[in-house]
Amino acid sequence: MTPAPSGRQYQLVHGSQRAVVVEVGAGLRSYRAGLRDIVDGYRREQPCDGGRGQLLIPWPNRIADGRYTFGGRDLHLAVNDPRTGSAIHGLTRTMAWSVAGSGTDTCTFALDVHARAGYPFQLGLEAAYALGSDGLRVRITATNRGDAACPYGAGAHPYVHLGDGAMIDDALLHVPAGAALEVDALGIPTGVEAQVETTAFDFRAPRHIGSLALDTPFTRLDAGGDGTARISLTSATRDHGVVVWMDRSFPYAMIYSGDTLADVARRRRGVAIEPMTCAPDAFNSGAGLIVLQPGESHTGTWGIAPLADADDVAAAISPAR
């Protein structure tokens, strides 16, 4: 069999759920519950495009001009997003991760990130996937293996959809966030955190996406009493959908409607709901930036939960618990 562009494939199975995670980037290639595709993924023979299902480490989203200062040093990262002239979505998306353990419904990847130009730090990483009755759970742990402090952030890039091939315009989006970050024309936050009330970005109650183009970082997420923020995409009839949830380690979420994807046929066919531990350009702004001391670790957990019926949808969009 011809090797897959995404490397070795690992299938997780739990009941009627099937997910495939991959060696390259420790990403999520596909996720299905019963007859419904939960994520807009890619086929085995295809390379990953548009960040589909990838983990974004050691920074999510963009760093302006690929430049930042840390520990008194001016550091320059490769610019890999020509459209915005930025360094986007970290270093590990194209790296081959090793499998530290696997089972029928679990797979744990590990990776050592060695010092390099632009990021002269050392990280030990672990990404643990588990498929269960409540959906897919992903735990990301980073440990500073170096002898000096290092900047760190993490994110994930699943595109969720409703499994019917339709555009997202009629879907209902629910984002329990009190504020959105104002960004410039290149997607870099200006430093203004704007309340969503009375704006086009107020999705605190589920509403149709319509023609709104989203490439928007949200914050002030309502995690409720259980410490979990839940962002949902549901059908207009509220009889099925999907939730992307995140613990308090992820105080930001990027919502992207796919309007600028290179593959025109896939634009607005799904919504990227991206948990982020920090804001875009946090290496410069410091907004949410994690600074790991030598030997220190950080862990964050997020997941995807299918909503099979109207009762599931009603529970998911009720006020945070």
Backbone CA torsion sign across 139, 285, 223, 309: negative
Q: What band does 120 get if pLDDT is binned at 50, 70 and 90?
A: very high
Q: Determine the Cα–Cα distance for residues 18 and 106; give it in Å rounded to an integer.
A: 11
Q: Is the peptide bond before 3 cis (omega within 30 degrees of 0)?
A: no
Predicted confidence (pLDDT) per residue in 189-226, tens digit: 999 999 999 999 999 999 999 999 999 999 999 998 89
Question: Which position has the higher pLDDT, 2 or 319?
Answer: 2
Give the list of residues 6+ apart from residue 143 with CB closer than 8 angstroms, or none.
123, 124, 125, 292, 295, 296, 297
So what's the pLDDT on residue 319?
A: 62
Task: Give yes or no for a cis peptide into 58 (omega within 30° of 0).
Answer: yes
Name the amino acid, one letter, at 29. Answer: R
Residue 288's pLDDT is: 98
User: Is 151 in contact with 289 (CB distance < 8 Å)?
Assistant: yes
Contact 222, 205 (CB under 8 A): no
Model confidence at 279, pLDDT cuts 50, 70, 90, reads very high
CATH 3.40.50.10490 fits 9-316, yes or no: no
Q: How far is CA 17 from CA 21, 75, 81, in A?
A: 13, 44, 34
**162 and 306 Cβ atoms separated by less than 8 Å:** no
**Is the pLDDT reported for residue 22 higher than 70?**
yes
**Mean pLDDT, residues 166-183 taken together:** 96
The residue extents of the domains of the chain are 9-316
Q: What is the DSSP letter of 227?
A: T
Which has the closest alpha carbon to 169: 49, 54, 268? 268
> For residue 114, what are the contacts with CB-CB under 8 A and spacing of at least 6?
122
Chain position carrying tokens 């430093």: 191
pLDDT tens digits for 245-263?
Answer: 999 999 999 999 999 999 9
Q: State the Cα–Cα distance between residues 28 and 276, nearest whole angstrom.
A: 16
Query: Nearest-CA neighbor of 102 among 8, 36, 2, 39?
Result: 8
Burial 72-107 (b: 16+ CB within 10 A, else e): eeebebebebeebebbbbbbbbebebeeeeeeebbb
Query: How many CB atoms sit inside 10 A of residue 116's CB?
Result: 12
Encode pLDDT of 130-152 as tens digits: 999 999 999 999 999 999 999 99
